Amino acid sequence: MIKSFWGLVSKVAEWFCVLGFAALFIIFVLQVFFRYVLDNPLSWTQEVAGILYVWIVCVGAATIVKEREHVAFNLIYESVSPKMRRILALAGTGLILVVLVLTLYGNYDYIAFTARQKSPTLRLPMTVVFGAFGVFLILLIVNSAIRIARLMRGDWDREL
Amino acid sequence: MSLAAAFMLVLFLAAGAIGVPIGFAMIVSGFAYLLVTGRDIGLVAAQGINGLFSSFILLAVPLFIFAAEVMTASSISTRLLRFVALIVGRVRGGLAYVNIIVSIIFAGMSGSALADAAGPGKLMIDMMTRENRYPRAFAGALTAASATIGPIIPPSIPMVIYGAISGTSIGALFLAGIVPGLLMGLVLSIQTFIVARRQDFPVEETFTLPEARVTSIRAFPPLLLPAILLGGIYSGAVTPTEAAAVAALYAIILAVMYRDMTWRTMWQTLLASARGTAIVAITVVGALFFNYVVAGEQIPNMVANWIASMSLSPLAFLLVTAALFLVLGAIFDTLLMLLVMVPILLPSVHALGIDPVHFGVVIIVNMMIGLITPPYGELLFLISGISRIPLGEMIREIWSFIFTLVIALLLIILFPQLVLFIPQAAGY
């Protein structure tokens, strides 16, 4: 049940990141084409590319990138026994979960506040940008909670 | 430094030490700092996310990653390899030189050492170890060593990140990498020359004239790309970010023309690019906030005062930094050093009157050597993984290459003009 739920989230995130990345690239090619070939630069391309960039990173970092694929210092983690690794993984994931939950309201507050700011060229509410960070935090909280649940179970060694 | 900042640093180090991803560790310890001091939680997003959103320079990162992924998925590497083998295959140890030269050319199209090792590097090892013509450990170690040239010769992802956090011109950095990259190729070639005679490495067979013609024609379109990129950046016609888009577009056109791209490989390429981008950028987001606190707490200035109190000469400072980065590079990831150490050291660099472009190139060469230094050498892991050469064998062989590359590093430290004369000639 939990597994199929996260499987679905990951699948949606994969589609989002792949299509988003394709759009980011196409928009950038358009920018170069309009500026250098048509000599008529588009005003909106850079901002839309920036928004897509933030969303791909925020959604991707918590979903399509596996825990152990991230940039990390692995020397200690990989030199200890699986039992010790389980403890380290629980401590690290627990830290992420606790701190993020504690800051959830503060972040909500800030992201709601950014609705009053406007983006430089398109005059969109900046929530369009910062909302991605909220999604990142929620995805990371859910991901961490699921990871902890798995580490607590009998087949915890599959989660290391 | 305040108590809260000390708490943040300890929490970051502790979380990092037990294997929490560095980007998450920075974000979490940054939040903890804000909770303890009672400041606005929104500062993480305001610094980190806004930094990513509003930096035109950092947009070059996904585009260069994408270009490298497309090149890896295409037959560009094979075409280059055949062409270079045609030219230098006839000398003793020919394929070893091919390995180095292809790395140099590929470095002019992609900005990542890992992409260089995964693309042409894998093909090179297959060619060199077929019928046991070269010792496999030598082939693997040479591939790792020559892949370090990737981010030195422009384009370069580490230079984009260094430029973004230090405010140094990316164009100047890119041009500054040309001579050091070629120098690294030269010292590796000298080493190959000596080893090839001692171990009696094989010579490649001759080509017929029609074969030579076909191979050259096939390699011509990919060979144009480094020329386009360098010309565009040198003349100032395109920004590095736009150059990244052009590189990716050109690579896609070639890949489609050569029928290397199916919808399925396109999907995989986009997914791998999004993944690579997220890995780099989430660490940058964490670092942007982390460094905002570190700077606010005057830590870089404390370090600068401490270094000033030792009254080091600029040369001594560079040598000490290089030694420090060699040690750190053996243990830590490149991105971590770039994002944490550079902001701390920059005020000292300015105070000592060292050109930040020179400093940037020196530490990036330094960090690339770190990629092949055991115990934590990502290039060694990657190559061992894709070629099935045992890690232990490669580690025994890699030390001589590290020694050789350190000679190149010392040369660019001692002679700043090697680094700076091209950007100066271009008017930076």
Dist. CA A158–CA A151, nearest whole Å: 8
Question: Residue B56 has what pLDDT?
Answer: 81
**Other C-beta atoms within 10 Å of B302: how many?**
13
Place of tokens 């395109």: B238
SS (H, E, C) B99-150: HHHHHHHHHCCCCCHHHHHHHHHHHHHHHHHHHHCCCHHHHHHHHHHHHCCC
Contacts of B377 in chain A (CB under 8 A): none
Q: How confident is the model at residue B417 (pLDDT cuts 50, 70, 90)?
A: very high
- Minimum Cα–Cα distance from A100: chain B residue: B28
According to the model, what pLDDT value does residue A11 have?
Answer: 92
Interior CA angle at B161 toward B156 and B163, to 5°? Answer: 90
What are the residue ranges in chain A where pLDDT is below 70? 1-3
Percent of chain B, pLDDT > 90?
54
- Bridge partners (DSSP) listed for residue A125: A118
Model confidence pLDDT, tens digit, residues B220-251: 999 998 888 888 887 877 888 888 888 899 99
C-beta atoms of B53 and A102 within 8 A: no
- For the CA atoms of B69, B74, B80, B81, the dihedral, rounded to the nearest 10 degrees, stands at 90
- pLDDT > 70: what percent of chain B? 100
- B108 Cβ neighbours under 8 A, 6+ residues apart: B153, B154, B225, B226, B229, B230
Give me the amino acid identity at B116: D
Tens-place pLDDT, residues B284-306: 999 989 888 888 888 888 888 88
B279 touches chain A (CB under 8 A): yes
- Find, among B298, B295, B308, B410, the residue nearest to B349 by Cα: B308
**Is the pLDDT confidence value at B111 over 70?**
yes
Q: Higher confidence at residue A61 or residue B72?
A: A61
Q: Which chain B residues are within 8 Å of A39, Cβ to Cβ? A: none
pTM for the predicted model, two decimal places: 0.90
Give me the mean pLDDT over the B384-409 stretch.
93
B89: left (phi over 0), alpha (psi -120 to 50) or beta: alpha
- Concatenate the DSSP letters of all residues of B263-277 into one string: HHHHHHHHHHHHHHH
Among chain B residues, CA nearest to A72: B21
Bridge partners of residue A118, in order along the sequence: A125
B410 CB contacts (<8 Å, ≥6 apart)? B322
Query: How does the average pLDDT of chain B come out, rounded?
Result: 91
Cβ(B110)–Cβ(B150) below 8 Å? yes
Q: What is the pLDDT of residue B157?
A: 92
Residue B413 pLDDT greater than 70, yes or no: yes
Nearest C-alpha neighbor of B339 from the set B159, B112, B150, B162: B162
State residue B134's pLDDT score: 93
Q: Give the span between the Cα atoms of B258 and A102, in whole angstroms.
A: 53
**What average pLDDT does this structure show over B381-402?**
92
| Segment B161-183, tens digit of pLDDT | 999 889 999 999 999 999 999 99
Query: What pLDDT is recorded for position A1?
Result: 65
Chain A nearest CA to B407, separation (Å) = 28
Residues 6+ apart with CB under 8 A from A150: A156, A158, A159
For residue A154, give how far its alpha carbon lies from the nearest alpha carbon of chain B (Å): 22
List, in sequence order, the alpha helices (H) in B262-390: 263-296, 299-309, 314-331, 334-351, 356-370, 378-387
For B78-110, write each residue's pLDDT tens digit.
899 989 999 898 899 999 999 999 999 999 988
